[in-house]
Structure 1
Amino acid sequence: MDGYVIMTTPVHRYVSLWDFDGSGTQELSFKAGDRFQAVDRSGDWWLVDRINALGGKTGEQGYVPFNYMAEEGTMEEQRWFFRELSRTEANNLLMKGGNAAGSFLVRQSDKQDFDYALSVRATDGVKHFKILRNSQGEYHLNSSSLFPDLDKLIEYYHDRPVIKGVTLTKPCVKDEPMATDLNPLPLDEWERPKEEFILGKKLGSGNFGQVHEGYWKGRVKMRVAIKTIKQDVTNREIFRKETAFLKTLRHRNLLSLYAVCSVGDPFYIVTELLSKGDLLHFLRGPEGEKLSVEGLLDIAGQVIDGMHYLEANNCIHRDLAARNVLIGLNNICRLADFGLARIITDDCYMSYSKDVPYKWTAPEALEYGRFTIKSDVWSFGVLLHEIMSRGVIPYPGISNAELLLYLKQGKRMSAPENCSRKIYEVMLDCWNANAQKRPSFNELKISMDSLAFYEPSEESPKPVKLKGIIARLKKNAN
């Protein structure tokens, strides 16, 4: 067959990391170590064929939760590899019982200058190290010791201290994931009958509806959040836009849509339920009061990650505030309440509606109805103030009617108590009167990664901090 190229479809094979008992006729049950070949990997539940030790199909086909699977022959099979985790999640996992000094994990990073981070439990807390890669593809913590892969790097620091007095011992205990946290439906089957859901206690109110805790009866009473929206012409359009928005975007820091009910009054938007509620109440509560500055900055970083994803997809939120960020286990954050969100095809979205969150909205949006991703950056500055002040109301003592003049006079909120100058400068950058001079969320991702990483050394660890990054980025751009 000279002159022809035979195209083959790559075969994706996976190994299960935990036991799983499937419910219903379509979900497969399996044991840790079972092997599968993927047929369809769309959504949170993958269609797979079970394969035997020789790689042949057994004839069993069904759905499995994707987060129980590791691709065969990759580092995902390693007990120390934890995919994408935030710094706070890594801290919480390593400080749990069962993990002693030297316990460690490798986590994915979405930072621009490194792909992975090594987190290690020491006697005085958890230390984090950037795993860098040189132009030859070799991994290293410092340039004096280079490794062809992460396995070799981990082996090396089992025998030598990564910092003085700390060597790697055992991988961090890995919690089994919850299949009930996944979207239970294929991505093209959003519409469900309202009878499948039971409304529970009211959790709060959004801009356009009430939010209840609820149960999905067909999923062994799976706990969900149900936003109810009363039918009228305006709300019907809001419902359509919000659900269309949630269907198109998926990110670990955006709220996951499970189902919609658009028959009957009220409409339902069914999403995942996050156990700790909204960020504003969390910050004002006992857990928020005890959270360290590092923990507060990790929450801010997760919000930035979610907003950077929206920025990359030409989306604006228009209602970014602590009340619209939800908190789950290990302080994972999800952006929520997308009733005002829009996908923009031009540089901006024009709206003259007065139904906006006044104290979180940028001056150009208040005065001219001009909304851009940079107006979301302004809102993030206010949200960062909420985070660092642990839930103080913005602009105390200033009414909505007075706010625009206050801002046009160049006045800004003062720094929260015990907030560092560096963090306050990020807020001031977000509140630049010239929208074009505000940082992008991509620049904020870099500048807010200002917590200390450690360089491996036989001496005392020296924290390396990123300073003045926004200014340097802009200087280099010019």
Structure 2
Amino acid sequence: MDGYVEMNQNSKIYVSLWDFQSSAPQEMSFKAGDRFHVLKKTGDWWSAVKLDAQGRRVGKKGYVPHNYVAEEGTEEQQPWFFGDLSRTEAVNLLMKEGNQTGSFLVRISDKNEFFYALSVRSQDAVKHFRILQNNQEEYYLNCVTTFPALHQLISAYHAKPVSQGLKLTAPCVKHEPQVTDLSLVPLDEWERPKEEFALGRRLGMGNFSEVYEGCWNGRIKVAIKTIKQGVTNREIFMKETSFLKTLHHRNLLSLYAVCSVGDPYYIITELLPRGDLLNYLRGLEHDQASIDGFLDIAMQVADGMRYLEANNCIHRDLAARNILMSQNNICKIADFGMARIIKDELYVSLSKEIPYKWTAPEALAFGRYTTKSDVWSFGILLHEIMSLGMVPYPEIPTGQMLQYLKKGYRMKAPENCSKKIYSIMLECWSENPHKRPTFDELKTKLENSANYELTEVSPKQSKLKGIFNIGMK
């Protein structure tokens, strides 16, 4: 069977969703609808071979961007399936020009109790519906009618309303995804010569570093953080950036490369020109404030911190100023300058460079940092979000923070903040670190504050409203 790719029964075929033109020798060009056998999944680029209609190998193997292909015969191949998408991203996409009443998408849910969510445009708003499954793994919206496959459920609600006067029409306009050539840099080649990078305008500065907009090889826009050698030595710098290379999550800023030769050192990351969350919040008018939008931001940060927590990594400087915003309102946790991996449950630092008003009492008093001290900081961040960027404890001098906290003093709830959200803040600010929730628990608590619509139900089913309605009271 010369020319055929060796495939076992578990081998999966992938189909391209868009045309792609390669820009490097190791990349593979292809047309929408081409079929592939994926040899190895490595980060954002997968090694693959192209197949013809009979399943025979066509040409040499090459790399394809993972977000351009979908497994054949799955929901991912459908034009209405948008994968891992937050509520706010769904709203932003559906409200863009080109979509109309009834435009819809299916996304992976940000809640634990159901896997998919259906988001539908309704004139000047977007409604969200839970897609649930029963014990037979059938899909349904209201328990009255079930469907063996997700695409059958979607087809049915083209014919009948998903809620009063609202039927599904066309899938949300889906734009070709972005591709970064940087992901093809092998893990053992993260060290790059400085000559490959050009510094542009300065984006920000701190006590020990500056951040610039930059360009890699004259064509790829990046962010470049410069750190002077006097702050750290090369051995420590390499050790503390090496673990960042292994972290990959949609809510963490992606590290692309480092330059550890010469002064200053460079850390190269993805560029997010919209800036940080703090400036975003302070730029909002009160009539632009959206509780759903704020919850979405908080859930994204909690999800990124949950990933760090699972990888035994503490951040130590979690604050709105260190959350960056993408064009689609994806939040990225940034500034790992103080981050550490903790092999034990505790990390001790006696550094005097402390963000006092975001730091837990045990860290202020004894330099003891754990994931639970990050939880304390998350509570402050949640207060920043709900108060549109208010400075924490504005009436308390920095030097008096610890004694105020020891006396049990805590910030009041921001204006218009619900009791439910404020209670989450207070849990984060428990004096006993062991009584603070984990980030996994925080994600669930925030999820349970988000609103989802119900499809119309018959009188017999109306009692289910009390079970499924998780909206804020």
TM tier relative to shorter chain? over 0.9
Give the letter for the 1:21 counterpart. Answer: Q
The question of whether the paired residues in 1 share the 8 Å contact of 2:86 and 2:110 is answered with no
Q: Distance in 2 between matches of 1:399 and 1:235?
A: 34
Q: Distance in 2 between matches of 1:237 and 1:24?
A: 33
Query: Does residue 1:257 correspond to 2:262, yes or no?
Result: no
- For residue 294 of structure 1, report the CA deviation from its aligned partner: 1.5
- For residue 9 of structure 1, report the CA deviation from its aligned partner: 7.8
The question of whether the paired residues in 1 share the 8 Å contact of 2:103 and 2:170 is answered with yes
The question of whether the paired residues in 2 share the 8 Å contact of 1:430 and 1:439 is answered with yes
- For residue 32 of structure 1, report the CA deviation from its aligned partner: 0.9
Q: Distance in 1 between matches of 2:418 and 2:52?
A: 58
- For residue 159 of structure 1, report the CA deviation from its aligned partner: 1.4
- For residue 208 of structure 1, report the CA deviation from its aligned partner: 3.4
Residue of structure 2 in register with 1:452 after alignment: 451
The question of whether the paired residues in 2 share the 8 Å contact of 1:245 and 1:341 is answered with no
Matched residue SS, 1:204? strand
Q: 1:396-415 residue pairs with structure 2 within 5 A? A: 396-415=394-413
Residue of structure 2 in register with 1:464 after alignment: 469
Residue of structure 2 in register with 1:296 after alignment: 294
The question of whether the paired residues in 2 share the 8 Å contact of 1:14 and 1:72 is answered with yes
Matched residue SS, 1:188? helix
Residue of structure 2 in register with 1:471 after alignment: none
Flag structure 2 segments of 5+ consecutive residues without an equivalent.
1-6
Matched residue SS, 2:180? helix
| Alignment size in residue pairs | 460
- Percent identity, please: 63
Give the letter for the 1:282 counterpart. Answer: Y
Query: Does residue 1:149 correspond to 2:154, yes or no?
Result: no
- Counterpart pick for 1:419 among 389, 400, 417: 417
The question of whether the paired residues in 2 share the 8 Å contact of 1:258 and 1:270 is answered with yes
Q: Describe the superposition over 1:411-466 as per-residue Cα deviations: whole angstroms up to 9, x where unpaired.
A: 11111222222211111111111111111111111111112111111689978226
The question of whether the paired residues in 2 share the 8 Å contact of 1:206 and 1:337 is answered with no
Alpha-carbon distance change, 328 to 238 in structure 1, aligned in 2, over 3 angstroms: farther
Q: 1:32-431 residue pairs with structure 2 within 5 A? A: 32-180=32-180, 183-206=183-206, 208-217=208-217, 221-232=219-230, 234-236=232-234, 239-286=237-284, 290-431=288-429
The question of whether the paired residues in 1 share the 8 Å contact of 2:223 and 2:268 is answered with yes
Matched residue SS, 1:448? helix
Matched residue SS, 1:454? coil
Alpha-carbon distance change, 289 to 376 in structure 1, aligned in 2, over 3 angstroms: farther
Residue of structure 1 in register with 2:3 after alignment: none
Give the letter for the 1:404 counterpart. Answer: L
Q: Distance in 2 between matches of 1:334 and 1:134?
A: 35
Which has the larger displacement, 357-366 or 24-33? 24-33
Give the letter for the 1:452 counterpart. Answer: N
Aligned-residue RMSD, C-alpha: 2.2
Q: Distance in 2 between matches of 1:375 and 1:324?
A: 16
Q: Distance in 2 between matches of 1:73 and 1:288?
A: 46
Tell me the TM-score normalised to structure 2 length. 0.92
The question of whether the paired residues in 2 share the 8 Å contact of 1:76 and 1:83 is answered with yes
Give the letter for the 2:392 counterpart. Answer: P
Q: Describe the superposition over 1:329-360 as per-residue Cα deviations: whole angstroms up to 9, x where unpaired.
A: 11101001112112222222122222221110
Q: Describe the superposition over 1:234-279 as per-residue Cα deviations: whole angstroms up to 9, x where unpaired.
A: 2535532441231121100001111111111111111100121111
Alpha-carbon distance change, 440 to 467 in structure 1, aligned in 2, over 3 angstroms: farther
- For residue 23 of structure 1, report the CA deviation from its aligned partner: 0.8
Tell me the TM-score normalised to structure 1 length. 0.91
Q: Describe the superposition over 1:255-314 as per-residue Cα deviations: whole angstroms up to 9, x where unpaired.
A: 111111111111111110012111111211258983422212211110001011111222
Which has the larger displacement, 304-313 or 184-193? 184-193
The question of whether the paired residues in 2 share the 8 Å contact of 1:201 and 1:212 is answered with yes
Q: Distance in 2 between matches of 1:80 and 1:206?
A: 44
Residue of structure 2 in register with 1:17 after alignment: 17
Q: Distance in 1 between matches of 2:157 and 2:231?
A: 63
Matched residue SS, 2:338? coil
**Runs of 4+ deviating beyond 3 Å:** 7-10, 235-238, 286-289, 458-463
Q: Distance in 2 between matches of 1:457 and 1:131?
A: 14
Residue of structure 2 in register with 1:443 after alignment: 441
The question of whether the paired residues in 2 share the 8 Å contact of 1:214 and 1:223 is answered with yes
Q: Distance in 2 between matches of 1:89 and 1:342?
A: 31
- For residue 158 of structure 1, report the CA deviation from its aligned partner: 1.3
Q: Distance in 2 between matches of 1:335 and 1:395?
A: 23
Give the letter for the 1:76 counterpart. Answer: E
Matched residue SS, 1:411? coil
Q: Distance in 1 between matches of 2:263 and 2:146?
A: 63
Q: Distance in 2 between matches of 1:364 and 1:467?
A: 33
The question of whether the paired residues in 1 share the 8 Å contact of 2:234 and 2:260 is answered with no
Q: Distance in 1 between matches of 2:200 and 2:288?
A: 30
Q: Distance in 1 between matches of 2:188 and 2:135?
A: 42
Alpha-carbon distance change, 208 to 130 in structure 1, aligned in 2, over 3 angstroms: farther
Give the letter for the 1:451 counterpart. Answer: A
Alpha-carbon distance change, 30 to 206 in structure 1, aligned in 2, over 3 angstroms: farther
The question of whether the paired residues in 2 share the 8 Å contact of 1:245 and 1:338 is answered with no
Alpha-carbon distance change, 84 to 365 in structure 1, aligned in 2, over 3 angstroms: same
Q: Distance in 1 between matches of 2:239 and 2:289?
A: 36
Q: Distance in 2 between matches of 1:237 and 1:84?
A: 37
Matched residue SS, 2:337? coil
